[in-house]
Structure 1
């Protein structure tokens, strides 16, 4: 039977499934579920890359690597969501930390750690990618599926954010290098927020959640009727190639996000 780790703080309850990619399977506030349920949903981790990597190919210096093409013709969302994670430190009522080691099909040794801190009105999430040998480019981020409707007779969620730019998408669904003024949704798009990610989700009269991160990149996805996604990440889609962030043995990659919530009414 698959194990779960449940954290509680005030009337908030967060459930992690380390054997299923360390995804956040559930986030309840006052008994109300905020995340879409199902094995592919909740909030999964994107690591060691985020979104699509073009044709599954990336380069590290003069070496070219081929990743499995699982969103043809591209590779998508990394290997962490398919991996079994292990306890990095004993869990408490409000904290937990898990890790997994990078192995094939990722070509470089390393370790990824996911730390979660739950408070009555917030959750702080931290992803760290460490190199255990050669340096390599990497990305990390979160892919939460926020319920479009909380199922209690209220209105659908409304998104509010102010981005400096939107990455224009080419025919291959990847950013083409042009930065354009943000367009109205629906979106499956990457936005730039150089002062840090700040996105508000408001279920009128019910709940407000604010997603923040020091990172300047967020993907917003609103093309499905059941849920919307607000994905803070350390670089844009295909960033292994277009904006590589090198992880070295003395310079790990760390990204954090905080979800703050407040019940309304």
Structure 2
């Protein structure tokens, strides 16, 4: 069953088999809940769940980036830096909803200096969730990034904490200012608040022993792993590294929009 006309932008609920997904377009199009056979996987709270990072991911140094000869200042909200984009603080609109899929959008606006549109598609099955995000320009080209910041619960209430498994090609060396230094180093042991490169695509497995296994994949080669909090761990596939608007800009042009997708697949271990 499909509803292509929404009269409001209220919370959206999707179901497929034993999987239940809830998104709140008014709160940055954030996934507020992902339940598998009744078990919640995401940390709860207005700032948590899983939110889109757009039109940049991670930190921008001092909140500033250049596009050609123009320098732009974004609001500083993480020490001296700007973090995680503006999409998470924006009310999105719901374009269409079906039983197991939904599409959303919002138009880029101040403080972002360039007009454009961001879209997000969520597609749920009984054993997977695929998220696709796009960024397009209404005029001038501009650098942009997109990705997701999920807060997976460290413990699902079954006893043992989650275990992370991944093989990275490199780790971006992190400076004292929490920004990549530009050096690529061999992956180091955690805890992490670090960006890793995976040339063959993001592939990270979260295992809650005796409960559930969830795999995060993406064709993108960049992922940030954050596991410094007691309550949750974050596996963040993204289209570029932190501060990438300055160090590795990917231009969105009228004929070349930015698109990124991630798929989470799961299986029971109970």
Given that 2:214 and 2:267 are in contact with CA atoms closer than 8 Å, whether structure 1 keeps it comes out as yes
Given that 1:99 and 1:114 are in contact with CA atoms closer than 8 Å, whether structure 2 keeps it comes out as yes
Q: Unaligned regions of 5+ residues in structure 1, if any?
A: none
Selected match of 1:95 from 97, 101, 111:
101
TM-score in terms of structure 2 length: 0.96
Tell me the SS of whatever aligns to 2:151: strand
State the partner residue of 1:5: 12
Given that 1:211 and 1:257 are in contact with CA atoms closer than 8 Å, whether structure 2 keeps it comes out as yes
Shift of 1:154: 2.1
Query: CA-to-partner distance for each residue in 1:45-67, whole Å, 9 max, x for gaps?
Result: 10000000000000001110011
Selected match of 1:159 from 164, 179, 195:
164
Tell me the SS of whatever aligns to 1:215: coil
State the partner residue of 2:186: 181
Selected match of 1:27 from 12, 34, 37:
34
For the residues of structure 2 that align with 1:35 and 1:87, how far apart are their CA atoms? 22
State the partner residue of 1:234: 239
For the residues of structure 2 that align with 1:72 and 1:241, how far apart are their CA atoms? 18
Q: Unaligned regions of 5+ residues in structure 2, if any?
A: 1-7
Selected match of 2:146 from 140, 145, 149:
140
Query: RMSD between aligned alpha carbons?
Result: 1.0
For the residues of structure 2 that align with 1:72 and 1:66, how far apart are their CA atoms? 15
Shift of 1:249: 1.0
State the partner residue of 1:50: 57
Tell me the SS of whatever aligns to 1:218: strand
Tell me the SS of whatever aligns to 1:171: coil
For the residues of structure 2 that align with 1:72 and 1:169, how far apart are their CA atoms? 16
For the residues of structure 2 that align with 1:168 and 1:92, how far apart are their CA atoms? 43
State the partner residue of 1:15: 22
For the residues of structure 1 that align with 2:17 and 2:91, how far apart are their CA atoms? 29
Is residue 191 from structure 1 mapped to residue 193 from structure 2 by the alignment?
no
Is residue 63 from structure 1 mapped to residue 70 from structure 2 by the alignment?
yes
Selected match of 1:121 from 124, 127, 143:
127
Selected match of 2:217 from 204, 208, 212:
212
For the residues of structure 2 that align with 1:194 and 1:127, how far apart are their CA atoms? 20
For the residues of structure 2 that align with 1:67 and 1:149, how far apart are their CA atoms? 36
For the residues of structure 1 that align with 2:187 and 2:70, how far apart are their CA atoms? 36
Shift of 1:171: 1.6
Given that 1:154 and 1:206 are in contact with CA atoms closer than 8 Å, whether structure 2 keeps it comes out as no
Given that 2:54 and 2:85 are in contact with CA atoms closer than 8 Å, whether structure 1 keeps it comes out as yes
TM-score in terms of structure 1 length: 0.98
State the partner residue of 2:113: 107
Given that 2:150 and 2:236 are in contact with CA atoms closer than 8 Å, whether structure 1 keeps it comes out as yes
Of 226-235 and 64-73, the range deviating more from structure 2:
64-73
For the residues of structure 2 that align with 1:215 and 1:11, how far apart are their CA atoms? 28
Query: CA-to-partner distance for each residue in 1:20-51, whole Å, 9 max, x for gaps?
Result: 00000000000000000000000011000000
Over 3 Å off, 4+ runs: none
Shift of 1:144: 0.2
Shift of 1:2: 8.0
For the residues of structure 2 that align with 1:37 and 1:170, how far apart are their CA atoms? 31
Tell me the SS of whatever aligns to 1:91: strand
For the residues of structure 2 that align with 1:6 and 1:227, how far apart are their CA atoms? 23
